[in-house]
Amino acid sequence: MLLRACISKIHRATVTEADLNYVGSITIDQNLLDASGIKPFQYVNVTNVSNGIFWQTYAIPGVPGKGDICLNGPPARHFQRGDKIIILAEAWITPEEFSNIVPVVVFVDDKNVVTSVEKHPPAQTSSH
């Protein structure tokens, strides 16, 4: 059996562009990918804090240091420049791996520059 787990997130990033005519995906500044551990073409969940929309797509790297967060293709109908979003990366892991994951949370400022990176402690399992 595999469990679906959040392994990292980018918290309250600001959408810099929404490009309806691009083929798809979310462009994320390479610096944010590096800080979060999100890999290019890894599936991510994107939650729009501004309107509650939840979208799943894959990440593509943007220019390092430019601060790009661009929703491409169909999600451009639901995510607009200036919206605050949370990007969640997940993985399918075994129950044994679950107790050892240390999710990373990347906090950013309004220009999508990393302000801090925190690691959550390993998941605690119940003895019940």
Q: What residues are labeled active site?
A: 25, 58
Give residues with Cβ within 8 angstroms of 10, minimum separation 6: 28, 32, 35, 36, 38, 86, 87, 106, 108
- Determine how β-strand 54-62 pairs with β-strand 43-48: antiparallel
Sole residue written with tokens 């790009």: 68
